[in-house]
Amino acid sequence: MRRVLAWIFRLVLGLVVGSVVLVVLFRVVRPPMTSLMLIRTGEALAAGRPPAMTHDWIALADVSPAVLRAVIAAEDARFFEHAGIDLDALWRAYAYNERHGGRELRGGSTITMQCARNVFLWPGRTYVRKAFEAYFAVLLELLWGKRRILEVYVNVVEWGNGVYGVAAAARRAFGVPASSLTAEQAALLAAVLPNPRRWNPAAPTRYVVGRAAQIRARAASVRLDGLGLGEEIVRSSR
């Protein structure tokens, strides 16, 4: 029994140390591939399709502030207030799922948690995955900070089949660089994030158009002052 406990302790310690090392590394190094990219590549190969992936990294200062405001308004309105986990949002999601059930479940994940999932974990809605997601979210808040979290998130999030990051999404949907995205275009991009493989910001459904209008209205009140982008950049899309 003692040997089993010692083995478990070493395993847990190794996982903790390994996760911390990875988080520290990606604080300064761009993640070359995310777990989701690898999963999608495997899915394509298993289906006999050549994997297609468009992904270009850009600095946060080169992203239109309209996109940052829209993403925060759509995915995590309390992004600058929580420490990685929004307990109120998780409770509301749990209560909603208990009442409604079905396939369209709410996750309650913050941008930090989504970033952790995209970079380090796997898709799914199990409580085990959610626990790992929360653990990595705390690490990201402690070791990265809000600016790095948002920078990595907008650069790795899935925005369509084989489309990762805002630079690729802006070119694919609107034929413009991410720095030139308007508030309307940014809202459409943010509106499809819950289901980017089903919805297309370049050809939005009536539901996506309505959702984008709500996001754009909420985005107007999102402040980016704490990101250190420079006053002239922050004001550029107001």
pLDDT digits (tens, 9 = 90+) for 48-60: 888 888 888 999 9
pLDDT, position 73: 96
Lowest mean pLDDT among 31-35, 67-71, 99-103, 146-150: 99-103
pLDDT, position 97: 61
Contacting residues for 159 by C-beta, under 8 A, at least 6 apart: 165, 166, 168, 169, 172, 173, 189, 192, 193, 196, 201
Contacting residues for 163 by C-beta, under 8 A, at least 6 apart: 54, 55, 169, 172, 196
Lowest mean pLDDT among 12-16, 17-21, 100-104, 185-189: 100-104
- Give the number of other CB atoms < 10 A from CB of residue 192: 24
Give the residue, 201 or 46, on which the prediction is more confident: 201
Whose tokens are 């070359």? That residue is 32
CA-closest candidate to residue 68, choices 166, 156, 134, 140 = 166
Confidence band of 174 (pLDDT split at 50, 70, 90): very high
Is pLDDT at 11 greater than 90 in this prediction? no
Domains of the chain, with CATH numbers? 2-44+52-237 (1.10.3810.10)
pLDDT, position 219: 95
Whose tokens are 């920078």? That residue is 151
Overall average pLDDT of the 204-215 stretch: 95
CA-closest candidate to residue 138, choices 13, 2, 16 = 16
pTM recorded for the entire structure = 0.86
Beta bridge partners of residue 163, listed in sequence order: 54, 160
Cα separations (Å) of 157 from 8, 44, 232?
34, 18, 26
**What's the pLDDT tens digit per position in 188-208?**
999 999 999 999 999 999 999
